[in-house]
Structure 1
Amino acid sequence: MIKQHTIPKALPSNLPFAQSPLVLSLCLAATILSPQLQAQTLEEVIVTATKREQGLQDIPIAMSVMNSEQLSQSGIVGLDDMSSHMPAVHITEATDGDQVFIRGIGSGVNFGFEQSVGTFIDNVYYGRGRNARFAFLDVERVEVLKGPQSTLFGKNTIAGAINITTATPKENFESYVQANYNTELEGRELTGMITGPLSETVFGRLVAKSYEDNGYVENTYIGEDGPQMDTWAARGSLLWHATPDLSLTLKVEKGEFDVVGRPQMIGKASDTAISLYRTAYPDFDPDFNFERSMANLQGPGSRQGEYDETDSNIYQLTIDYQLDDHTLRSVTAYTDYSFELFKDADYSPLEITAQTRREEHKQLSQEFVLLSPTGQTLEYKFGLFFQDTDLEHHEEVDISLSNLGAAGLPIPPLDGSSNHTFTQEGESWSAFAEFTWNVSEQFRTIVGIRQSYDEKVMTNTTFMGEFQNPTEPDAFLCQVYSDALGFIKCFTFDENTPNFDNRRTEQHTSGSIALQYDFDSSMMAYLNLSNGYKGGGYDESNRLASVENEEFDDETVESLEIGLKADLLDRRLRLNLAAFYSEYDNMQVSTFDGNSSFVVGNASESRVQGAEGDLEFAWTDSITVNAAFSYLDAEYTSFPNAACNAEQEASWSENGPCRQDLSGAPLQFAPEWSASFSAEYTRSLTEFWDLQVNATANFMDDYEVANDLDENLRVGSYWKMDARVALHSSDGHWMLALLGKNLTDEKVLAWGNDVPFGSLGFAETYHMQIDPPRSFEIQARYNF
């Protein structure tokens, strides 16, 4: 068990975050500072969660919002950085893909899965994590909507939605250049932006960013650090006011995201595994630290070492047309990306297994939305949505049994490689409507409905072939690896496979009902009932050729949320509270079997309930305090046939596959308590310089990383502390800052799993991914 701190969890006086140094400091400051000091008024937060601009406090949805200034002050460059500042939100990059969880609900690592949390950038849905690698380039605002969002955002939002708005062209000239340097990672970041008029009716914006670092995990065996990043992205956008009623916005974006090395190590190993590893590297020592010891088989061609390379392109045209007092919006987008990664799939100094993945994904989407005028007794929105996707995923796994034999295992020296190809074409159609009936000045009801149709057609093929060159099937290798070792079977799933349908269609009706009551202009309460679904599909990772497990069903949810939003003390205090209850049916789960394949299926039922809140307090004209918390009770209510963990597999003596009953067990990434506290202090130092100081403390309670609830992959409660000191020139041109991240140098497990080949002596051995250590970043910016 990875344990960072032991923190009392009693309520209310011993709340786990009550002992935070930041909280104690704020309480002390409250007794010192005069309550008579004049305080500022909090600014209204404008969001687009309802597909039109609206005040955050007017929307009956639990949300967390960060604007561009907050993202910059916290040194946030991606969704995973941001999630640590938002209780009940967990985002991390796992071994091969991204994991996004809200309130304990998310998708496991399987390239056939869609997400439980939908990501939307400028009103475009991005169904694959790689699409959004550069989502934080020149961002204006990030909105995290919690709970099902099926009416306006559609499928795959059963846990929530991330709604990102990028900056648009401005009518006045603006530009800046910003440089950051990270001392621990030797990270170098450079960003430049320019925007302004190109003519009386055309306005442009161009932004570009590059980033490089040297990594933070040392490979002591081969003497390299990782993950070393080398990325760049650029976006150009044009806004044309063609007529007083018609405007068009064109956006073009391109990026490359290259990584060398990885942040995984073997953090825990059995005595048998340790002795085997030491035959290759006598100094091998399993430890959850910023060191690893791995050696790779040769990569594709003549390449050596681990890498992960992604190229992406985005083209988007948004048209807004005023039809009298209505607005008609058209959003057309085409995105594509390709990636290739090569990794040490056994995570050890033994050169046993290497994995290469290549993927190409193309997506075309079109949405039309008609918005009625506001301020009427009846307001409405109508929409049509279409999406076409094309996915091709290829994997090669090189397996050197010769090296296992050389390590002392009685294994035949048969080296081979699996060749695996998964293709899928998909179409989605939906129509939606939302009506707001303003019954009175204080009471309104909002009803939404969406009708959806989804279709997927797939092929899935795996065969064994020549080592590091598996172009043709080898019947002998197929037999050995399938029958003798039970690792990989040779198969094909397509339209000709008996008792199998490679075409899947779904139809769903989803929606929501909200009741909202305004006590006055500064306080409202709401009740929200909603449902939603995540599309079913096909298991990309089915290496054992199980016909009954190749297809998994759609996942559904029914949810209830009640909340209160208020601006108090003459708009100096903003308070939001919500309580929620959700029931999920047929949850999609993916569990590694400890050898070579993932067991994919649908859990029977789960329940998520809890409460959360946030506040912002303008204490004085110079001091602003923020706090947020989440209490979460998320568990499987029925899951009698879950896959076993490594220890259970080792002791299993019954016929058939090992199974455990997880009914009543907690969900992944669902800490009981999580919280975030921050404070900002500003003052004028001289006639020419202003001082800004920010401090943040984020708390996370115990949570499970593996969905088989292996206690060796459980994370203990921990705190992370950040702080920033900045100088701003009074004329608004210069900014100089020093940012400290993870100041308590916590070693946090972000992701982990069993290493392969548990049945050959590697049971109860785990690879683990560690978050970055304490680091300091220097930031400098000049606004022209």
Structure 2
Amino acid sequence: MRNANTAPRLALSALLAATAITAVPALAAEAADAAADAPGAAAANDIVVTARRRQESVQDVPIAVAVVGAAQIEQTGAYNLNRLQQLQPTVQFYSSNPRNTSINIRGLGAPLGLTNDGIEQGVGVYIDQVYYNRVAATTLDFVDVEQVEVLRGPQGTLYGKNTTAGAINITTRDPSFDYEGRAEVSIGNYGFKQGKASVSGALGDTVAARISLSTTDRNGTIDNVATRQRVNSQDNLGIRGTILWKPSETFRLYLSGDYNVQDPICCAQIYARVGRTQRSANRQYNELVAAYNLLHPDAPYQVPSTDPFDRKTDLDAELRARNEHGGASLRAEWDLGAGTLTSVTAYRYWDWQPANDRDFTGLQVNPKVNNPTQQKQYTQELRYAYEGNSFDFVIGAFGFHQNIRTSGIQTYGKDASFWLLSRTVAVPGGPVPLYLNPAVLDGLAANNDIRLKNTSAAVFGKLTWKITDAFSIAPGIRVNYDKKHGIYDSVVTGTSSTGVTAPITFASTDPWTVAQRGVQAPQFFDETFSDWNVSYDITASYKFSPDVLGYATYARSFKSGGLNLNGVPLDAKGVPQVQVAQVDPEKVDHFEVGLKTQFWDRKATFNLTGFWTEVRDYQALVNNGQTSVLRGYLANADKVRTRGVEADFSARPHEQVSFYVNGAYTDATYRKFENAPCPPEFSGGTGTVPGGPGQAGALSPAVCDVSDQWLPGISKWAVSYGAEFNVPTSLLSTQGQFYIGWDGSYRSKFSSNASRSIYTDVNGYSLNNLRIGYRNDEGLNVFGWVRNILDKNYFEQLATTPGNTGLIAGQIGDPRTYGVTISAKF
């Protein structure tokens, strides 16, 4: 598996070597802008964005938007969105594996810890104006990126239905008619190796091309003592090519294609801690392990370490996270009068091939909970952007079609009966309780066939009316239609007490079958969802001076409704409760005020934003009541609110000094959610009397009221900061700079569970990175770096595990890493 990408990697290595040989004598063609673009540089007035689907200075756009340029990505090692969040305190990125990934902005976007094919994200991701519906694409490395724009708050008018929290707009470098190239090589501890290269130039008088490659490889940071592997490794490869045809100054045609693959030994969540649930006393984790060891004195079980930061695990099933994305797009831009007509046609595919150990232990409980998924999507956007003296406008239409098929499997092993079944149920007339008979659940398997057809279409328009030179009003509207057709078919096979293996049905009264149904029940449903929705917004902005812009926005937006395609609850006869198969759209009311300023002769930039967002019918995670299934299903919480203040400050008081501080205070809570899933301390009990948190043998409530509790995944306080100091010098007759830079981030405590638990709060932490290097005016940059320099131990996520045993699994962040990077332009 580790050699799957050998041929492309050899090709990339050859290209990097050739590039480096060519670059050394040729470093004179292009002056580097690295000093001006260094992290913390305050030249925000020079940063051009396309946040409103046309090119504008970022300080003139009445939107809360942050921009990370190519130089900052290179210097800080933010080569994917997971690392980018350290620079953007309002972005939250969580990924236990590529399929189970969520991106949130200001605490909104997607329910933490759940991927459901029938539900979409609330943060839109665009690369070169192509919409990426599957967020798994965001776990891949950036390939030849020019800049990343993070648009905060609803962007439903111009960016579509599923941007209730914001949008991430990524732009790659265009082909150049002048020959140019870039190469970058990094090496570090944990066997870290990363290479990037791009070459661009003319193929004729009207045609130019660009090809870019990126590869990242790193050993895992966790030692699996069961398989003798280093797990949670990195193994990424990306290739991107673009051809530009420019027959005239008014017409441009871009044909782009890309291929991206990850194939690491991943992804492991390991023993983090144990908490008491309301399950009976002898069914708690510590008691279960002790009882298991009494039954297996020759092979007792012991977790490798109860300190997760020893970085040891004993997961005994195969781990794989092969994540493949690719596609092609055709973008045409035609300048017509005072406007530009743009057409973007795209096809994308996604192939997900996982292997997991979902019991999070070295026991044979759930050796497989895999959901291989294939997706194809087609998009077409057509828009016209006009710029005039008294008004600007953008009008357009968008179409989208997607096919998804997930062929899931969930199996149970020889330890599943002991771990998951009640210790009080015995075979009628027999002396052996079911939990002591491994054969009851051993070999139980669910084969799931999940299919979705997803079609949507929209028309939209945005007007900016320049009432005076200083005052503008910008209303916008988008009308959207959605239709989704989904099928969920789960066939469960088990062995009866007579030794016959057959599909599980609800007609059987065999005690083994009854026990198996309580763990994994079959179901089938076929549902269709369709809906019309209207998004609209209005923004008023005023230029108090050339360097001071104030604005206020109201937006009404929505996130598409959908289908629960992870299964729904069953009644006593095994009939799916299809009334919860459909999930209503989220309805969002958003208010925002902002101030964008530059001062000190434009050496400093300070932007301030206040926001208040209310969401009705918030798509939240609830339980399905089954013993061993980690995934619940989605339902609509009555009301959620997120509000806060954000500040971004950067300054370059001198050519040798730059610094920045970005901060966010976010208060994100359920305002009304009375039928929420209960946290683990109120789960698993089957007694007769309700009890307190973690009281063994109590009667657990069916639902819990979590109104006024925190939304998961969002810290109240988040800050990113950094500074760089350089010393001009002449080296080998070339002008350059020695420099030292520091970048850091902090976030306060946050909840890592759908309903806040006393066991799954993640404590606040700060991460700090150092870099020291030399760069010159001809494009050479050599620097050493240390990330997480203080070697901070921290969790990225905490999660409950099957069976309500109280075991909490954790995903731990990277330890201290260090290395050297060499890059060149020519």
| Residue matched to 1:293 | 313
After superposition, the Cα gap between the structure-2 partners of 1:406 and 1:559, relative to the gap in structure 1 and judged at 3 Å, is closer
| Residue matched to 2:612 | 581
Residue 338 of structure 1 pairs with residue 351 of structure 2:
yes
| Residue matched to 1:526 | 551
Opposite residue 61 of structure 2, the aligned amino acid is: I
Q: 2:534 aligns with which of 509, 516, 519?
A: 509
Q: 2:481 aligns with which of 453, 456, 459?
A: 453
| Residue matched to 1:663 | 707
After superposition, the Cα gap between the structure-2 partners of 1:290 and 1:238, relative to the gap in structure 1 and judged at 3 Å, is farther
Shift, 1:471, TM fit: 12
Q: Is the 8 A contact 1:418 1:462 kept in 2?
A: yes
After superposition, the Cα gap between the structure-2 partners of 1:272 and 1:446, relative to the gap in structure 1 and judged at 3 Å, is same
Shift, 1:656, TM fit: 9.2
After superposition, the Cα gap between the structure-2 partners of 1:273 and 1:770, relative to the gap in structure 1 and judged at 3 Å, is farther
C-alpha separation between the residues in 1 aligned to 2:319 and 2:502? 26
Opposite residue 107 of structure 1, the aligned amino acid is: A
Describe the SS at the equivalent of 2:683.
helix
Q: Is the 8 A contact 2:200 2:211 kept in 1?
A: yes
Shift, 1:40, TM fit: 8.7
C-alpha separation between the residues in 2 aligned to 1:406 and 1:442? 69
| Residue matched to 1:595 | 628
User: TM-score, structure 2 length as denominator?
Assistant: 0.84
Describe the SS at the equivalent of 1:571.
coil
Q: Is the 8 A contact 1:442 1:517 kept in 2?
A: yes
Opposite residue 307 of structure 2, the aligned amino acid is: D
Shift, 1:747, TM fit: 1.9
| Residue matched to 2:146 | 140
Opposite residue 150 of structure 2, the aligned amino acid is: V
Deviation digits for residues 727-773 of structure 1 (CA, Å, limit 9, x no counterpart): 113432x2211111111212222123111122xxxx21111111111
Deviation digits for residues 454-503 of structure 1 (CA, Å, limit 9, x no counterpart): 00001001111269xx9973449987466555222111102xxxxxxx11
Q: Is the 8 A contact 1:610 1:630 kept in 2?
A: yes
Shift, 1:130, TM fit: 2.3
Describe the SS at the equivalent of 1:289.
helix
- Write the mapping of 1:138-177 to structure 2, written as runs, cut at 5 A: 138-177=144-183
Shift, 1:651, TM fit: 4.4
Q: 2:563 aligns with which of 538, 541, 547?
A: 538
Q: 1:44 aligns with which of 13, 22, 46?
A: 46
Opposite residue 101 of structure 2, the aligned amino acid is: D
| Residue matched to 2:472 | 444
Shift, 1:296, TM fit: 2.9
C-alpha separation between the residues in 1 aligned to 2:665 and 2:381? 36
Q: 1:622 aligns with which of 645, 656, 659?
A: 656
C-alpha separation between the residues in 2 aligned to 1:118 and 1:780? 33
Q: Is the 8 A contact 2:150 2:169 kept in 1?
A: yes
After superposition, the Cα gap between the structure-2 partners of 1:162 and 1:445, relative to the gap in structure 1 and judged at 3 Å, is same
Q: 2:718 aligns with which of 667, 671, 674?
A: 674
5+ residue gaps, structure 2, are: 1-40, 275-284, 294-298, 424-434, 570-575, 691-698
Deviation digits for residues 580-636 of structure 1 (CA, Å, limit 9, x no counterpart): 111101111124556314142111101111101101111212101101111111111
Shift, 1:392, TM fit: 0.5
| Residue matched to 2:815 | 773
Describe the SS at the equivalent of 2:439.
coil
Describe the SS at the equivalent of 2:263.
strand
- Write the mapping of 1:120-135 to structure 2, written as runs, cut at 5 A: 120-134=126-140
Shift, 1:261, TM fit: 3.2
Shift, 1:322, TM fit: 1.7
Q: Detail structure 1 runs of 4+ shifted over 6 Å in the superposition.
A: 476-479, 654-657
Equivalenced residues, count: 723
RMSD of aligned residue pairs (Cα, Å): 2.3
Shift, 1:640, TM fit: 0.8
Q: Is the 8 A contact 1:42 1:572 kept in 2?
A: no
Shift, 1:725, TM fit: 1.0
Shift, 1:293, TM fit: 2.5
Residue 272 of structure 1 pairs with residue 287 of structure 2:
yes
C-alpha separation between the residues in 2 aligned to 1:383 and 1:424? 27
C-alpha separation between the residues in 2 aligned to 1:700 and 1:577? 19
| Residue matched to 1:102 | 105
Opposite residue 310 of structure 1, the aligned amino acid is: N
After superposition, the Cα gap between the structure-2 partners of 1:472 and 1:138, relative to the gap in structure 1 and judged at 3 Å, is farther
Residue 560 of structure 1 pairs with residue 594 of structure 2:
no
C-alpha separation between the residues in 1 aligned to 2:655 and 2:257? 41
Opposite residue 110 of structure 2, the aligned amino acid is: S
C-alpha separation between the residues in 1 aligned to 2:209 and 2:541? 40
Task: Using the TM superposition, name which of 342-351 and 710-719 deviates more.
Answer: 710-719
C-alpha separation between the residues in 1 aligned to 2:266 and 2:130? 32
- Write the mapping of 1:355-394 to structure 2, written as runs, cut at 5 A: 355-374=369-388, 376-394=389-407
After superposition, the Cα gap between the structure-2 partners of 1:478 and 1:703, relative to the gap in structure 1 and judged at 3 Å, is farther
C-alpha separation between the residues in 2 aligned to 1:701 and 1:455? 40
Residue 179 of structure 1 pairs with residue 185 of structure 2:
yes
C-alpha separation between the residues in 1 aligned to 2:633 and 2:664? 31
Task: Using the TM superposition, name which of 654-663 and 363-372 deviates more.
Answer: 654-663
Residue 694 of structure 1 pairs with residue 720 of structure 2:
no
C-alpha separation between the residues in 2 aligned to 1:166 and 1:273? 53
After superposition, the Cα gap between the structure-2 partners of 1:717 and 1:41, relative to the gap in structure 1 and judged at 3 Å, is closer
Shift, 1:290, TM fit: 4.6
C-alpha separation between the residues in 2 aligned to 1:277 and 1:718? 37
C-alpha separation between the residues in 1 aligned to 2:742 and 2:340? 42
Deviation digits for residues 164-220 of structure 1 (CA, Å, limit 9, x no counterpart): 11111012111122111121x211111111011111111110001122111101112
Opposite residue 267 of structure 2, the aligned amino acid is: R
| Residue matched to 1:239 | 244
Deviation digits for residues 377-425 of structure 1 (CA, Å, limit 9, x no counterpart): 1211101000010010121011124564499943552321111111000
Q: Is the 8 A contact 2:44 2:58 kept in 1?
A: no
Describe the SS at the equivalent of 1:105.
coil
Opposite residue 361 of structure 1, the aligned amino acid is: Q
| Residue matched to 1:549 | 580
Q: Is the 8 A contact 1:482 1:488 kept in 2?
A: no
Deviation digits for residues 503-551 of structure 1 (CA, Å, limit 9, x no counterpart): 1101111111000000111101000100211111111222644323322
After superposition, the Cα gap between the structure-2 partners of 1:482 and 1:583, relative to the gap in structure 1 and judged at 3 Å, is farther
Residue 114 of structure 1 pairs with residue 139 of structure 2:
no
- Write the mapping of 1:704-723 to structure 2, written as runs, cut at 5 A: 704-723=751-770
Opposite residue 781 of structure 2, the aligned amino acid is: M
After superposition, the Cα gap between the structure-2 partners of 1:483 and 1:349, relative to the gap in structure 1 and judged at 3 Å, is closer
